Amino acid sequence: MTVGGPTRVIAHRGFSSRAPENTRAAVARSIEVGADMVEVDVTMTADGRVICLHDETLDRTTDGRGPATSRTLDEIRRLDAGSWFSPEFAGEPVPTLDEVLDLVDGRALLNIEIKPEAVPHGAVNAVAELVRRRDLVDRVVVSSFAPEALRRMKIVDPDIVTVSLFNADLHKGRDPLEIIQEVGSRGLNLARHEVTAEIIERCHRHGFPVGVYTVNRKQGMRRVMRLKADAVFTDHPDRLIEVQRSEARRTADEAR
């Protein structure tokens, strides 16, 4: 993301309105539809592998139970991460971050969100090693609600761009700019109901781009784009691309 550039279309957990979130199917569909960036959540297995999963437990999006960090990759591989979404995706596995990096392969940017519970299990070092080994430092952004994850990433690999995830409830009313600066992040992602023109203007004044999550209705998409958000996370990247094009036409018409 860059300040003042075109609004980035970020597929939230992949094309998660069309395929089960954080799976290869969702990632592939988001690339096919033309998303600029794909966002995935990552946590760790008991044997130190990075997998794509949003929740602390396996319960909601697989037929497994319990924390992912208590299960080995082989155990998680045997789970079904697709049937909960649709019979079409029965048998879809929980992917490793390695597999998602293979799938993206330079066709889109990637936002890797490190889940807080994964940090004590070595997620920061593991993610940095995978990104560096594939020479994808300039194609990846790492985000987290855990300040320690972002602080540690700046030590482990300062070339990897980090972005602070902000939540007013979590951060107890603290200034978003303070959150960015204290961990050395390069930008801010915050919720659609928290974003204002004033926050975006202040971040831009300091050179920090702003992403807004998770915006699924066209009216909301138009609102955050007109506020000059630099990126928008959505479960419907196709819808956001349509709105982006209509906004560009509107701007061009007004300039005539």
58: tokens are: 């396996």
Whether 152 is covered by a domain: the verdict is yes
12 is catalytic: yes
Q: What is the CA radius of gyration of the chain?
A: 18
pLDDT of residue 119: 98
Global confidence as pTM? 0.96
Whichever domain contains 59, its CATH number is 3.20.20.190
Burial class (CB in 10 A: 0-12, 13-18, 19+), 11: buried
Is residue 163 left, alpha or beta, with left meaning phi > 0 and alpha meaning psi from -120 to 50? beta
> How many helical (H) and strand (E) elements, i.e. helices and strands, does the chain have?
9, 9
Whether 139 is covered by a domain: the verdict is yes
49: tokens are: 């592998």
pLDDT of residue 138: 95
- 114 Cβ partners below 8 Å, 6+ apart? 42, 123, 124, 127, 142, 143, 144, 146, 149
Whether 255 is covered by a domain: the verdict is no
Whether 222 is covered by a domain: the verdict is no
Name 185's bridge partners: none
What is the longest distance spanned by two Cα atoms in the chain? 61
Whether 169 is covered by a domain: the verdict is yes
Which of 148, 155, 156 lies closest to 127, judged by CA? 156
pLDDT of residue 103: 96
pLDDT by 10-residue block (mean), the chain, 256 residues: 87 98 98 98 98 98 98 98 98 98 95 98 98 96 96 97 91 88 95 95 96 98 96 98 92 78
Q: How many distinct structural domains can be found in the chain? A: 1
Which DSSP helix (H) or strand (E) runs through 203?
helix 197-205
Whether 149 is covered by a domain: the verdict is yes
Whether 230 is covered by a domain: the verdict is no
Residue 37: give the domain boundaries: 9-186
Cβ atoms within 10 Å of 86's Cβ, excluding its own = 12
Please answer whether residues 76 and 87 qualify as being in contact, where contact means their C-beta atoms are separated by less than 8 angstroms. Answer: no
SS3 state of residue 45: coil
* DSSP string of 99-163, one letter each residue: HHHHHHTTSSEEEEEEPGGGGGGTHHHHHHHHHHHTT-GGGEEEEES-HHHHHHHHHH-TTSEEE
Whether 143 is covered by a domain: the verdict is yes
Look up residue 97 and give its amino acid: L
pLDDT of residue 170: 81
pLDDT of residue 82: 98
